[in-house]
Structure 1
Amino acid sequence: NQTMEQEGIFADYVRARLNLPCPDPSFSAESLLYRLNNTLAKGLSAPRGPIHINCKFREPLAPIDCAEAWQDSYLEGLGAWFNHEKPFNRSIPAQRSLSKELQDELIERIHQSRRGLVLVGRTVDDAQRKEMMELINTLGWPVFADITSGCRNNERIATLVPYYNLLLRSEKFRQWFKPDLILHLGGAFVSKALPAFVQNQEAPYIHLSPEKRHGGLSNRVTIGCSIDLKTLLPALESFNREKSRTADWEVFRKMNEGLTTRLRQYRSKAESLNEIEIAAIIDQELGSENALFLGNSMPVRDMDQFATRAFSRLIHANRGLSGIDGNIATAAGIAWGSGVPVTAVIGDMAALHDLNSLALLQHQETPVILVVINNGGGGIFSFLPIAEYKEPFGRYFATSHSYRFKEGAALFSLDYVEVSTSAEFCDALQKAKNKNKSSVIEVTVCKEINLKFHKNCYEAATLWIDQLVDSLR
């Protein structure tokens, strides 16, 4: 917006920023290329991220003839660059590797561990993700992988523990499982229970990531290294996986299988479609040909708690400034930037706050399937203690409404379907994928039934976990 200060408008949320002056012959073309190249290099260096280039222009802005044309001599210094395909200048990123002393200490800790645990936080870089998986499969330790890590894949990681959020609800599990080394790869976590669990552990906590953020656990870090994992992998070639494999893995395997069976049985008895079932269907139906965007509120939390395969090529989430802003625009941006069809799962309030971004889907070449979970507004707040106080909860948190998104989809000429059962949702999702065009699927659920189903599911899972842990003693 022209009334706002443009310089530094994105603050520290960009990797680099560059403020360019108004076009003027006194600002050389060589200087322009040099600054652009260095700024771009910072955005492409790990951890990669957006950059902000602020360009100033003088009026008039219309394409009219200028009183004084630019001289060809302005580009004379770029002759050599025009005549070959090499960059004007190259920025070589620093090779981030461990010192021999620190690497030896780290390798020794890993070799000595007999009850190691790997945590995998948010990861956006494919190359980084591949290195993580190679390290994970080398170690053979139990893996708690965040849904936004891209590593929640039970076929590529044999020791994945997808239901760790449910396990951590059990006090008996928390008392039983005491890792002797915690290795954190990647960034932050969706889960609140996981950082709380780590805070209460006495084990050394090692964070290895190209990023410097510790996911809210900076006060627990024993060793924190901002490195490329590929520099560490050669040092683990002699790692004895069988010797280091935790004796608890067989228990984790039983927990995985038992919870999968019981959750499937529990979902089959549901009286109506609920948000746990929606997450399970999304997890089952989407393959590697799709990208997945998860809106805040319940979608990203339910996927983090109940997804086991997460085969989607890309999995993204966007916290936004207020949690629910810009979700549709983000999904459109992912489709545009990646060229991969996107399925976006968001809540009704997030959809209402970004309704005008449906215009982006109207002209999107790469399709976006927008799944709007409509529970009548503010369903996530029903899980909080404030829900017991009816008057303030209803006015300030529940934000109840009776809106439907059919007219919004029609306004932008988007295909639309409303579903309310599991069969209808599966059918609508499959048809939308086959059409290869953007569309809106509105899934209506009952807020009260959904809350009850979640609570009963948590209680049943915790009871079964408690019984299994008791049987180990």
Structure 2
Amino acid sequence: MSHSTFNRRWAGIILEALTRHGVRHICIAPGSRSAPLTLEAAAHATLICHTHFDERGLGHLALGLAKALRQPVAVIVTSGTAVANLYPAIIEARLTGERLVILTADRPPELIDCGANQAIAQPGLFAGQVAAACNLPRPTPDIPARWLVSAVDALLDEHRWGAVHLNCPFAEPLYGGDPDAFRDWHDALGDWWHSDQPWLSTPARLAIPVQPEWPILRQKRGVAIAGKITPEEGIALAAWASALGWPLLADVQSQCGQPLASAEVWLRHPETHEILSAAEVVVQFGSHLTSKQLSRWLAGIHPDAFWLIESMPGRRDPAHHRGVRIAADILPWLAAHPAVAPASELTGNSALTPHLRQDAGSSLMPDLRHDTDLLTSRRPWYSGLNARVTQTRENLHRALDHFGEAQLAYRLPALLPEKGSLFLGNSLTIRLVDALAQLPAGYPVFANRGASGIDGLIATAAGVQRGSGKPLLAVVGDLSALYDINSLALLRQGSAPLVLIVVNNNGGQIFSMLPTPKAGRERFFSLPQQVNFSGAAALFGLACYQPGSWSALLAAVDKGWQSGAALIELRVEEQAAAQFLADAGKDTR
């Protein structure tokens, strides 16, 4: 029975090491083989434990937590197919950068490939979808504790994006034992137990790459593109672009206020392309653009300079422009590349010394107060574009007077909770909001736009709400909700109100916008299910509302905030919104 105690000692060092790298939240699925990890996590003074019976949902819960917290989040599952169910969340994390630490319990080597129960080949299971992996040996006191802690530190320090996989074999017994056994092995780490630092540290590289040609390029006609960035980055970028006199074409995930909203609509007009064709410089911040029209415009341009700035490394430009790929945090990069010449440059001092200030959130922000010229924006070179954008927004306002999915997207800002967050589902949902809404600057917007799957959306939203601790409005489609129906159980355990709007247009209506054969569209693509979500809400003890008008929707959302967790089913015309989006912009004069 002392072996079960050593399993706990081994697991305890793993979890303590994780806390030194910022892990505070851990998501746990039930399982016996993972008991040493689970019991240690439950006993740890600083770890916050979350549970879910569905491992696929659990992985997305962790993903949502990591999005909101901007910290690594750990996941514990037992052996076998429980491990494989984490794959979709791991894939999403690889593409969008959230840090997940996957702890998979495993059978010891002698129980693999011999017909033992719940035993599969787990090392290397996630292949290239994880940033790194470590297959630990069976726990034994013959291996010093310092090897184990340094192995965990090395795994987390060397890979700062996406998920890492730590496979942890445990031999039985898994429960009980002498709590005082193997204390010398445990105590060999000395005062590390009383510190808050890793055993093995790799100092972060903090230098911000400064482009020496920037003082020349900022005087040219430029366009700024905002993809998936943070609220702080969105606000700073909007001020930077305005000061430059550059148009800012912004994604729904940019959180910059979308000063030229509805690009998906107005970019369909040749005259907007003609105006923007004068651009000599394009600087893009963040990636994973939602708008097809914006992506097509980007793919068709050949500016003198194209820069893409994002903290994640690697290629992030699907159009493969000739240009400069800059891996850097956006706020300090903006500070190092001011919109106008700083005082030090004008007086002959180094042009490479940015003015920085410490923001209230401990972020580096451009200090606009140092440059009085920044208080007044330059006259924009794209003035003809403003009239087209204004006309587009006015036409949308007149056209969207019919209650339905498109009107919901256009009027979505009216439903947002104060000091809250928004989570948008994939497929038609996020495309409509990107095309029709103008969201408030700095308002947190979350989505799974890496692989853009419909799996785990409710669980991800639940994770975002728990991580932020703020009221959350989530909007998903009916097939997405059905795909993650188990995760409605997570909504009952939130720390703040969560209202989930399920837009029931009876299937995947985005396929009606694509050249799918009409004869087989329903059977093989849109798959209408003819479901009513009131039963699902009742199954999980959630308040449910089914409004049929805009005023009724407003009232239902208000009741949802009061109830703590609610599902609002919006039953709409099946193809109306998809058709509206397909037709939008054909004639906005």
Normalised-by-shorter TM-score class: 0.7 to 0.9
- Paired residue for 1:55? 168
For the aligned residues, what is the CA RMSD?
Answer: 2.8
Tell me how many residue pairs correspond in the alignment: 438
CA distance in 2 between counterparts of 1:232 and 1:198 reads 22
1:246 corresponds to 2:387: no
Work out whether residues 556 and 568 of structure 2, in 8 Å CA contact, stay in contact via their aligned partners in 1: yes
CA distance in 2 between counterparts of 1:58 and 1:440 reads 44
- Paired residue for 1:27? 143
Q: Select the residue among 268, 282, 292 that pairs with 1:182.
A: 282
Work out whether residues 427 and 510 of structure 2, in 8 Å CA contact, stay in contact via their aligned partners in 1: yes
Deviation string, structure 1 residues 117-165 (Cα, Å, up to 9, x no partner): 1001112x556556545543442411111111222x15xxxxx211211
Q: Select the residue among 487, 503, 507 that pairs with 1:377.
A: 507
TM-score normalized by the length of structure 2: 0.68
CA distance in 2 between counterparts of 1:357 and 1:245 reads 50
Work out whether residues 288 and 450 of structure 2, in 8 Å CA contact, stay in contact via their aligned partners in 1: no
1:201 corresponds to 2:334: no
Question: Comparing 401-410 with 233-242, which one deviates more in the overlay?
Answer: 233-242
Work out whether residues 372 and 441 of structure 1, in 8 Å CA contact, stay in contact via their aligned partners in 2: yes
1:256 corresponds to 2:389: yes
1:423 corresponds to 2:551: yes
- Paired residue for 2:189? 78
Work out whether residues 15 and 42 of structure 1, in 8 Å CA contact, stay in contact via their aligned partners in 2: no
Change (3 A) 1:454 1:251: same
CA distance in 1 between counterparts of 2:535 and 2:509 reads 22
- Paired residue for 1:407? 535
CA distance in 2 between counterparts of 1:311 and 1:247 reads 23
CA distance in 2 between counterparts of 1:214 and 1:132 reads 22
Amino acid corresponding to residue 136 of structure 2 in structure 1: L
CA-CA distance at 1:82 after TM superposition: 3.2
CA-CA distance at 1:340 after TM superposition: 2.4
Amino acid corresponding to residue 23 of structure 1 in structure 2: P
1:346-361 pair list within 5 angstroms: 346-361=476-491
Work out whether residues 121 and 185 of structure 1, in 8 Å CA contact, stay in contact via their aligned partners in 2: yes
CA-CA distance at 1:256 after TM superposition: 3.5
Aligned-partner SS, 2:150: helix
1:251-290 pair list within 5 angstroms: 251-268=384-401, 270=402, 273-287=403-417, 289-290=419-420
CA-CA distance at 1:193 after TM superposition: 1.6
CA-CA distance at 1:106 after TM superposition: 3.3
CA distance in 2 between counterparts of 1:413 and 1:362 reads 8
Q: Select the residue among 37, 59, 63 that pairs with 2:153.
A: 37
Work out whether residues 145 and 186 of structure 2, in 8 Å CA contact, stay in contact via their aligned partners in 1: yes
- Percent of pairs with identical residues: 28
Question: Comparing 194-203 with 452-461, which one deviates more in the overlay?
Answer: 452-461
Aligned-partner SS, 1:182: strand
Amino acid corresponding to residue 116 of structure 1 in structure 2: G
- Paired residue for 2:265? 166
1:272-311 pair list within 5 angstroms: 273-287=403-417, 289-310=419-440
TM-score normalized by the length of structure 1: 0.84
CA-CA distance at 1:210 after TM superposition: 1.2
Change (3 A) 1:173 1:256: closer
CA-CA distance at 1:300 after TM superposition: 0.5
Deviation string, structure 1 residues 25-77 (Cα, Å, up to 9, x no partner): 1232222222333433456x4xx54433332221233x2226x9632211343
CA distance in 1 between counterparts of 2:465 and 2:390 reads 35
CA distance in 2 between counterparts of 1:369 and 1:245 reads 42
Deviation string, structure 1 residues 89-110 (Cα, Å, up to 9, x no partner): 43321124326xxx21233222
Amino acid corresponding to residue 172 of structure 2 in structure 1: E
- Paired residue for 1:212? 313
Q: Select the residue among 432, 443, 455 that pairs with 2:560.
A: 432
Aligned-partner SS, 2:520: helix
Question: Comparing 452-461 with 24-33, which one deviates more in the overlay?
Answer: 452-461
CA-CA distance at 1:274 after TM superposition: 2.0
CA distance in 1 between counterparts of 2:538 and 2:163 reads 33
Question: Comparing 396-405 with 447-456, which one deviates more in the overlay?
Answer: 447-456
CA-CA distance at 1:305 after TM superposition: 0.6
Aligned-partner SS, 1:385: coil
1:342 corresponds to 2:443: no
CA distance in 1 between counterparts of 2:271 and 2:530 reads 43
Amino acid corresponding to residue 252 of structure 2 in structure 1: I
Deviation string, structure 1 residues 319-370 (Cα, Å, up to 9, x no partner): 4767211111111121222222222111111111111111222333333311
1:146 corresponds to 2:262: no
Deviation string, structure 1 residues 150-192 (Cα, Å, up to 9, x no partner): 22x15xxxxx211211111112322332111111111220112
Change (3 A) 1:413 1:312: farther
Deviation string, structure 1 residues 375-412 (Cα, Å, up to 9, x no partner): 111211111222xx332212212312211101011011
CA distance in 2 between counterparts of 1:349 and 1:167 reads 30
Aligned-partner SS, 2:586: helix
Task: Specify every segment of 5 or more residues in structure 1 that has no aligned partner in the other structure, as ranges.
Answer: 155-159, 465-473
- Paired residue for 1:468? none
Q: Select the residue among 284, 291, 314 that pairs with 1:191.
A: 291
Q: Select the residue among 574, 578, 582 that pairs with 1:447.
A: 574
Question: Comparing 141-150 with 128-137, which one deviates more in the overlay?
Answer: 128-137
Work out whether residues 244 and 377 of structure 2, in 8 Å CA contact, stay in contact via their aligned partners in 1: no
1:136 corresponds to 2:241: yes
Work out whether residues 29 and 74 of structure 1, in 8 Å CA contact, stay in contact via their aligned partners in 2: yes
Work out whether residues 288 and 311 of structure 1, in 8 Å CA contact, stay in contact via their aligned partners in 2: no
Work out whether residues 186 and 208 of structure 1, in 8 Å CA contact, stay in contact via their aligned partners in 2: yes
Change (3 A) 1:35 1:128: farther
Aligned-partner SS, 1:147: coil
Question: Comparing 141-150 with 52-61, which one deviates more in the overlay?
Answer: 52-61
Q: Select the residue among 320, 327, 330 that pairs with 2:460.
A: 330
1:110 corresponds to 2:218: yes
Work out whether residues 497 and 562 of structure 2, in 8 Å CA contact, stay in contact via their aligned partners in 1: no
Work out whether residues 207 and 214 of structure 1, in 8 Å CA contact, stay in contact via their aligned partners in 2: no
Amino acid corresponding to residue 117 of structure 1 in structure 2: V
- Paired residue for 1:469? none
Question: Comparing 416-425 with 231-240, which one deviates more in the overlay?
Answer: 231-240
1:98 corresponds to 2:209: yes
Question: Comparing 353-362 with 18-27, which one deviates more in the overlay?
Answer: 18-27
Question: Comparing 398-407 with 209-218, which one deviates more in the overlay?
Answer: 209-218
Change (3 A) 1:116 1:231: closer
